[in-house]
Structure 1
Amino acid sequence: MFKILLKKQMTEIFRGYFYDAKKNKKRSLFSTIMFIIIYLAIMIGVLGGMFTYLSAGLCEPLTTAGMGWLYFLIMGMIAIALGSFGSIFNTYSGLYLSKDNDMLLSLPIPTGCIVAARLTSVYLLGLLYSAVVMVPAVIVYWIEAPINISIVIGSMFLIIIISAVILVLSCVLGWCVAKLSLKLKNKSFVTVFLSLAFFALYYFVYFKAQSVIQDLIMNAAIYGQKVKDSAYPLYLFGKIAEGDWLAIGIFAVIVALICIFTFWILSRSFIGIATSTASTAKKKYKEKHVTRKSISSALLAKEFGRFTSSPNYMLNCTMGSVFLIIISGALIIKGGDFAGALNQFYATGMDQGFIVAIIITIICVTAAMNDMVVPSVSLEGKSIWIGQSLPVEPWNILSAKLMVQILVTGIPVILCEACCVVLFDFGIAEKIMICIIPLIFTVLIALFGLFLGIKMPNLTWTSELAPIKQGINVMIAMFGGAALGMLIIAVYYLIKSKIDIILYLGMTAAVFIVAAIILYTWLKKKGAQIYRFL
C-alpha cells in the first residue's frame, strides 16, 4: 500500500509530464520523454552548472586557507534554502490540504501509511533540489582537496542530513502556509504580493552575490572565527563533510530524533489537519440598498472579479504594469541621474528625437507584456454558455474584457508618461507625442489580443494555466506586441536623417489609429458573431 500511495504522490507532482492539460488527454510516450529530458537538462545542466561554477569559485580559496568546513556550510545553507522553497508548496498542497484527503481517509488505509507516503514524496523532492547544489559542491571539493574514506563518507552523509533538515523545515513551513491559507480572505492578492516580493528578493540577491562572495573570500578567516565563537553547531555542520566523526554522530542522532518526532506529531494530528476547514465568522444581516448598475458596469465588474480571483491570471498577464510602475518609481527616485545622463547624450551629439523615440518604445514594449485579454475568452471554458445566454449583446461582453486590459495597462502607462514629461526637458510637441502614442498603442494591442482570443480559443482546458501561458495566441500577442513596439525606434533609426521626429511620430500615431479602427470594427461585427456561437 505504501508503494502505491508513493507512486500516486509522485505522479501528482510530475503530472504535467504525463498529461496535457491543454488538450485534456494523456501525452504520447515521445512527448513525455522529451519533457523529462528538458526537465533534467534544466536541473542538471542549468542549475547544476550554475552551482558548479559557484562551488569552483569558493572551494579553492577556502580549502587553501584551511576553511573547507566554511565552504560546505555555505553550500549547505544554499541547498537547504533551495530545497525548502522548492518543496514547501508541495507540502502545503500534498500533505496538509490535499484534495483527496477525504477519499483516502474513507478507505481502510492506516493513517501512518498515508503520512509516510506523503512525507517520503516531500523528502524525495527536497533531496532532488538539494542534490542540485550539493552534488556539484562535493565533486568540486573532491577535485580540489585531498580526500580519504572519512571525507567520502562525511560528504555523502551531509547530503542525507541536508535532505532530512529540508523535510522537517518543509513540514513546519507548509503547516504555517496551510494555516494562513485557511484564514486569509484575499488569497489571490496575497499570493501575487508574495510572488513579486520573492522575485524582487531573488534579483537583489543575484546582483549582490558577486560582491558578497568576494568579501567572504577576502575575510574568510574573520568570518570563520565568528562562526566558531557564536554559532558552534554551524561549525560542526560544516565539519561533517570533512569526515569529522564527532560531528557526524551528533547530527545523525539529532536529525534522526527530530524526523521521528515530526512523523509522530503528524501521525497523531493528520486527521485533524486533513479535515480542517476555514473558520467562518458569524455575520448579522443588515439591510442594504444596492445601486443599480448599467450593463457595461456589471459586466466590467464581473470580468475584474474573474481577473482578481486567480493569482496565475494576475501574475502571468500583468507583468507589464508591474514593470511600468517600477520604471515610474525609478524615475521619481533617480530623476536627477536620468536627466544628467540625457545631458551627456546631448553633449555627444545624439539627436533629441532619437531619445524621444527610445522613451516611447520602452513604454510601448513594456505595455505589450500585458496580455490578460487574450485568454479571457478561453478562461470561460465550458461555462461560456452562461455569457452567451444573457440578455445582452455579445459585444458588451467582449468590450468588458477589453476594458480590463486597457484600464490595468493604461493607468501605469499614464503614470510613466507623466514622470517622463515632468522629468525630461523636451519640447511641447515631443511631450504630447510621449503622452499620446503609448496610449494609442495600449488600445491597439488590447484589440489585437481580443482578436487572437476569439480566433484561437481553447475551451477544453483542465488547468487554467493552459490558456494563460501555453496558448499560441498568448505567444503571438506578447511577441507581436513587443515587435510592433520595437518597430517605432527601428524605423526611425533608418529614416531619421530624412524626416522630422514630430512628423514621424504623427504618422506612427495615424497608422496605429487606423489599425485600431479596423480591429475595433471587425470585433464589433464579425468577432461578436463568432463569440455568440463558440
Structure 2
Amino acid sequence: MRQVWTLTRMQLGSAFDFLNMKRSKNLKKNISVTTILVLGFLLFAFLSGTYSFIMAIALKSMDLLDVLPGLFMAVTCLMILVTSIYKVKGVLFGFKDYDIVMSLPMKSWVVVASRLMLLYLINMVFVLAILVPNYIIYGVMAKASPVFYVLSMVSLLFIPIIPIIIASILGVILAVISAGFKHSNAIHTILMFAATLLVILLSFQMQSENQIAEFGTLIRDKMVVVYPLAGWYLKGIIQSDILSYTAFLVVSILALIVFSIIVGRYFKWMNTVISARRTTSKYKVKELKTSGQLKALYLKEAKRYFSCTIYLLNTSIGLVLMLVGVIALVFLKSDQIEQILNIPEAAGMLKEMVPYLMSFMVSLVAITASSISLEGKNIWILKSAPVPAKTILAAKISLSLSMTIPASILTSLLAGIGLKMGVLDFLLTLALPISYCYLTAVLGLVINLKLPMLEWKNETVVVKQSAASMMGSLGGFLTVGIPIALLFMVNGINVMALGYGTVVVVLLISGILQVYLNKNGAKLIARL
C-alpha cells in the first residue's frame, strides 16, 4: 500500500501542480488559484445544500424524510458514474506518462490501484460538496443522533468506490470497442450527451411536492434493487444497523482490491488495445493546399476541440440544452407550458426571460477559458511561430464564436416562432445572446492568459478542474445574473430598456477586453 500511496501522491502533484506550495516559484499566484477553487467548491456545496433543503421540506411534509439520504446517494453515484466513464481513458488507461510509470520497479496492480486512487480523489470533491450539506440538513430536520453523523461521514470515503469500478468497466468496454475506429471520440461524446440530457430531463419531471416525493422514493427504491450495497448503507446510517454498515464498507474495499488485481493482470494488454490507432492503405498523394495564417490556426483549434470529448462536452452542453429547450417551446402550446412549469401565465413570462436564459446558457460555453492551457508543453510552438499574437488569439476567439453564434441565431429564430414574438422582442432575443457570445470568448481568453495551466497530463484536469475554466464559467454567470436580478428586484422596470441597455454594456465591456488583448496579447503569450 505504501507504493500505491507514493505513486498516487506523485500523480496528484503532477495533475495539480499548484498544490506544491513549498516548491512553487510563484507562491502568490498558486495561493490565488487555490482560493478560487475553494470558493468554487463552497459555491457548489451551497447550491447542493439549497436543493437538498428544498427536497427535505417537500419530503418531510409527506413524512418521507428518510428518503433524502438515499436519494442524494443515488444522485451522487449516478454523477460519479456518468462523469467517470470518459475519464477512464486518460486517467486509468492511455495516460501520457504510461511508459515512464510502467518502467518503475512495481507490479501492474499497484499502478492500477494508484490510478484508481487518483480517480477516487477527483470524485471525492463532488462527493463532499453534494453529501455533506445533505447529511447536515437531514440530521437537523430528522433530529438524528450523533451516531448518524459519525457513520455518515465515515461512509463518504467508501461511497465512490463501486461507482468508479463500474464506470471503469464501462469505460474500458467502450474504449476497447471504439479503439481503432476513425471516429471513436464521437461515440464517447454522443453517449455523454445522452446521459447528461437524460438526467436533466428527469429533473424537469419534478414539478410539485408530490412529484418530488414520488420521484425521490422511486429513485431510492430502484437504487436499492439495482445496487444492494445502497440498502446496507441506508440501514447503517439511518437505522444504526452496524452489521449492514460493516458489510457495506467491507464489500467496497474488497471490490477495489479484486478489481485492481484483475485489471492489473491484463493492464498492459488493455493499454495496447486502447492506444491502437486506425490505419488505412488507401492513402493517395494529392495536391498540397495552403491557407492563410488565421485559417490555419482556426482549423488547428477546431481539430483540437472536436477531438477532445471532455472539452467538447463540457463547453457545448449549454448550447444543446438551449436548443432543446426552445425546440420544446415550438411544439408546446401556452397552456401546456404553464401546466409543465406549474406557473400561471408562464408563456408570457418566457417572452421576457428567454433572452436572459439563452444568455445564461451561452455564458457557460467557456471554450477560450481552456484553449491556452490545452496547448500544454506545445505552447513553445505558438510562441516561436512567425505569427502575430493578435492572429493567434483571433483564431481562438473565432472558434468560440463559430460555435455559439450560429446556435444562438437558430435558437432565437425558433423562440421567435414558438412564442410568437413581436419585432422588438425578437431583436432582443437575437442581440442579447450574441453579445454574450462575444463577451464569453474574450473574457475566457483573458482569464486563461492570466491563469494558465500548462503542466498537465490529463485534459480533464484542465477543462473541469482548472481555475481558468471555473472563472470563465463563473464570470459569465455573474454578468448574466446582474440584469436578471434587476428584472426581479426592481418593480416596474422597463424590460426592453434593461435588455437593450445590457446589450450595449456587454458589447462595451467586450470591446475593452478586445483592445486589452490586442495591446497586451504578445506580452501575455511571451510570459507563458
1:462 aligns with 2:455: yes
Task: Give the match for residue 284 of structure 1.
Answer: 281
Task: Give the match for residue 372 of structure 1.
Answer: 367
| CA deviation map 1:20-70 (0-9, x unaligned) | 499976979999998999899899999799889989969x9799xxxx9x9
Task: Give the match for residue 400 of structure 2.
Answer: 405
1:298 aligns with 2:296: yes
Contact 1:461 1:467 in 2 (8 A): no
| 2: CA distance, partners of 1:199 / 1:489 | 30
| 1:474 alignment partner, one of 472, 475, 488 | 472
Return closer, same or farther for 1:182/1:523 CA change in 2, 3 Å cut-off.
Answer: same
Is there any run of 5+ residues in structure 1 with no aligned partner, and where? 147-153
Which TM-score applies when normalising by structure 2? 0.63
Task: Give the match for residue 421 of structure 1.
Answer: 416
CA-CA distance at 1:480 after TM superposition: 6.3
Contact 1:364 1:438 in 2 (8 A): yes
Secondary structure of residue in 2 paired with 1:283:
coil
1:175 aligns with 2:172: yes
Stretch of structure 1 that moved more, 205-214 or 255-264: 255-264
**Paired residues, what number?**
505
Return closer, same or farther for 1:196/1:432 CA change in 2, 3 Å cut-off.
Answer: closer
Task: Give the match for residue 151 of structure 1.
Answer: none
| CA deviation map 1:67-120 (0-9, x unaligned) | x9x999989877865776687677665554455554454344345655666678
| 1:323 alignment partner, one of 307, 318, 321 | 321
| 1:437 alignment partner, one of 431, 451, 468 | 431
| CA deviation map 1:372-410 (0-9, x unaligned) | 245545554564553455555554444332322222111
Secondary structure of residue in 1 paired with 2:411:
helix
Return closer, same or farther for 1:363/1:261 CA change in 2, 3 Å cut-off.
Answer: closer
CA-CA distance at 1:470 after TM superposition: 1.5
| 2: CA distance, partners of 1:485 / 1:187 | 42
CA-CA distance at 1:199 after TM superposition: 3.0
1:11-30 to 2 correspondence within 5 Å?
12=11, 19-20=18-19
Return closer, same or farther for 1:9/1:290 CA change in 2, 3 Å cut-off.
Answer: same
Contact 1:21 1:462 in 2 (8 A): no
Task: Give the match for residue 308 of structure 1.
Answer: 306
CA-CA distance at 1:169 after TM superposition: 3.8
1:498-517 to 2 correspondence within 5 Å?
none
| 2: CA distance, partners of 1:309 / 1:286 | 21
User: Percent of aligned positions with the same letter in both sequences?
Assistant: 18
Return closer, same or farther for 1:282/1:4 CA change in 2, 3 Å cut-off.
Answer: closer
Return closer, same or farther for 1:284/1:167 CA change in 2, 3 Å cut-off.
Answer: closer
Contact 1:378 1:457 in 2 (8 A): no
Task: Give the match for residue 5 of structure 2.
Answer: 6
- Paired residue type of 2:106: I
Contact 2:373 2:462 in 1 (8 A): no
| 2: CA distance, partners of 1:446 / 1:440 | 10
| 2: CA distance, partners of 1:13 / 1:426 | 52
| Superposition RMSD in Å | 6.6
1:203-218 to 2 correspondence within 5 Å?
203-208=200-205, 211=210, 214-215=213-214
Larger radius of gyration: 1
| 2: CA distance, partners of 1:20 / 1:417 | 44
| 2: CA distance, partners of 1:74 / 1:491 | 34
- Paired residue type of 2:519: K
CA-CA distance at 1:478 after TM superposition: 1.7
CA-CA distance at 1:320 after TM superposition: 4.1
Contact 2:360 2:480 in 1 (8 A): yes
